[in-house]
Amino acid sequence: MNLFDDEPQRFGETLGASLWGGTLYELAPAEESPYHWQFGEEEFLIVVAGRPTLRIPEGEHVLEPWDVAWFVSGELDAVEERPGYRHRAARVGGKLGGELLGASLYETPPGEKLWPYHWEFGCEEFLVVVTGGPTLRTPEGERELVPGDIVHFPEGEPGTHQLWNDTGEPFRVLIASTNARLNVCGYPDSNKVLIDLPGRRRMLQDGPDLDYWTGE
């Protein structure tokens, strides 16, 4: 779906997400949403169009398009220099205080890929295209994305994905995910599996299979 073209809706359900929810809202002039808090889940917002005023306990802030709460236009302070995968990033979730949700803003220059083709188990992800025209690869094939597109990646092999830049301009995407203490990632092109849990992170070759009693 595209955030500019589609009607207001609960797009998390539309995209098939089960671990996160997302809703596209449209507020008319002089309208407001209730001032509220929630326990048991975390939220963040992305401004698609207009200049809403955000009220929080610290005061009021006027937001601009593509602000995340009041961030996203900040410094991209994380840099990946590996040839073929060069990009810059900002860890939005951590800077906003998120614990149950993670989010990063990525900028990928022409001719580069954003991470290897991979899937994840233990979390769900979605991306929003902010600027540019990334190419998305999934098990269903390849397609070009445009600003405002939002794509859901379910956990496991059905959510395998990769982005790269075939254009002459950098692209920016916001990728958000649910957080879990145990995360498993698979890399089909290189036949690897990453196991990431507190205090232990291992990248392993995915095969050959071992018997349960091997080495016992």
SS (H, E, C) 99-152: CCEEEEEEEECCCCEEEEEEEEECCCEEEEEEECCCEEEECCEEEECCCCEEEE
204: pLDDT strictly greater than 90: yes
Q: What is the pLDDT of residue 96?
A: 63
- The pLDDT mean for the chain works out to 87
> Tell me, which fold does domain 11-204 have in CATH?
Jelly Rolls (2.60.120)
Q: What is the pLDDT of residue 5?
A: 74
Convert the pLDDT of each residue in 181-198 to its tens digit.
888 999 999 999 999 988
Confidence class of residue 2 from pLDDT cuts 50, 70 and 90? confident
The larger pLDDT score, comparing residue 21 to residue 89, is at 89
The larger pLDDT score, comparing residue 110 to residue 40, is at 110
From 4-13, 77-86, 145-154, the region with the lowest mean pLDDT: 4-13
Tokens representing 45? 């917002």
Identity of the residue numbered 80:
E
Q: How many CB atoms lie within 10 A of CB 120?
A: 24
Sort strands 125-131 and 150-153 into parallel, antiparallel or unpaired.
antiparallel
Q: What is the pLDDT of residue 214?
A: 86
- 162 bridge partner residues: 137
Q: How far is CA 76 from CA 63, 92, 108, 183, in A?
A: 19, 10, 11, 25
Confidence class of residue 76 from pLDDT cuts 50, 70 and 90? confident
Neighbour-count burial of 83, counting CB atoms closer than 10 A to its CB (0-12 exposed, 13-18 middle, 19+ buried):
exposed
H or E segment and range at residue 200: strand 200-205
Range picked from 32-46, 155-169, 201-215 for highest mean pLDDT: 155-169
46: pLDDT strictly greater than 80: yes
End-to-end CA distance of the chain: 51
Could you tell me the pTM of the whole model? 0.74
At residue 82, the 3 state secondary structure works out as coil
